[in-house]
Amino acid sequence: MPKYMLIMRGTDETTAAMMATPFEEMLATTGRFNDELIKAGVLVAAEGLDDPAQGVVVDLGGETPVVTDGPYGDTKELFGGFYLIDVASQPEAVEWAKRIPAFPGSRVEVRRVPGIEEFPQDNEWVARERAWRESTGQR
């Protein structure tokens, strides 16, 4: 089955609302959803990200990388975390995305994750990655 990444995107406002929500409440709400994914056998990984004010951006647009500390100015969308799920189709991934507990104004981007088997198998770098994946029990 293909994997899909559900990328959670918020705004400054949705991030502020999330940060104002009691942590135990967020854990319970997210935990119930995660439990549904686990029971359905589709969860591969899930992670949330820390406050964007604690992050940095490395801009590779010039000759020399430029590092800028957060918080960022004029953030229309912030990448807040992701789910990686293993489902049969994009429509199924979309159905799971619709159920993610999020604050009003949030968005979820659904993207297919190509499998290593889709890359040229005679390529040295693909072969190295495949060997690493097998040695670590990944697929």
- Cα torsion 98, 102, 106, 110 to 10°: value is -40
* Residues with pLDDT less than 50, the chain: none
* CATH number, domain containing residue 120: 3.30.70.1060
Q: 2: cis peptide before it, omega within 30°?
A: no
Range of the domain at 53: 3-58+67-135
**Tens digits of residue pLDDT in 43-61:** 999 998 887 788 888 889 9
Q: What is the pLDDT of residue 17?
A: 87
Chain CA centroid to CA 65, Å: 25
Closest CA to 8 of 33, 40, 32, 25: 33
Q: How far is CA 10 from CA 5, 29, 110, in A?
A: 16, 17, 14
Q: What is the pLDDT of residue 111?
A: 96
Indicate the number of domains in the chain: 1
The model's pTM is 0.83
